Amino acid sequence: PQLVEAVSLGSIIPGDTLAAVTRTADFVTLSAAATAVFQGAAAAMRLVATVGGASPNQRIVALSGNSPFLVTDAGDGTGLRFSASTGSSLVLSTTGVPGLCHLAVGWGATGRIGAHAGAGAVTNATGVDRSLSTILLGSASGLLSGQILRVRRLVGWALAERPSAAGIQFQSRVET
């Protein structure tokens, strides 16, 4: 058998040869009902995940077409930002990767909002590209070499308007 080199326990790959190991991209195709949530005029998402490794512009969650949604910063890759449009990103945190991330983001007619680990919410008036319907864990080509992404919770809500600052801060709280 072969073992996958990683910082945590992995899976045994059956076989007697030492050939390179590859796998297809991990992605989740939303059901019609879930697609409607994320294509709605206003919605929110909560993600609790362990992100291993820090790489600039690393997609944690992307949308179909490889559009970045939740991504590490462009500098050293340790910060987190909410992109989801052609406008400027919301910087949710300047630290957090690698590690356990507690992210909550939302959007509506008044723009975008997001928070990380219970910190104060950040907002802007830029909208979200709601035409995208597939959530990708990592990028369209899968996770980066050596990247570990352990999703503990991914939840979405359809709303009448983007969440309040207090609501998004609460949803990004650190769970014990």
Query: What confidence tens digit (pLDDT) does each residue in 157-172 have?
Result: 889 999 999 999 999 9
Name the band, by pLDDT with cuts 50, 70 and 90, for residue 105.
very high
Residue 156's pLDDT is 87
Structure tokens at 24: 């297809």
Pick 19 or 123 by higher pLDDT.
Answer: 123
Neighbours of 133 (CB within 10 A): 16
Q: How far apart are CA 147 and CA 5, in angstroms?
A: 11
How big is the chain by its Cα radius of gyration, in Å?
17
Pick 97 or 12 by higher pLDDT.
Answer: 97
Q: Could you tell me if 81 and 27 are in contact, meaning their C-beta atoms sit under 8 angstroms apart?
A: no
Pick 9 or 95 by higher pLDDT.
Answer: 95
pTM of the full structure: 0.80
Task: Tell me which range, 30-34, 108-112, 165-169, is most confidently predicted by mean pLDDT.
Answer: 165-169
pLDDT in tens, 49-92: 998 887 888 888 877 766 778 899 988 999 999 987 767 889 99
pLDDT in tens, 122-157: 999 988 876 666 777 777 777 777 777 888 998 888
Contacts of 154 (CB under 8 A, 6+ apart): 45, 46, 47, 49, 61, 135
Residue 48's pLDDT is 94
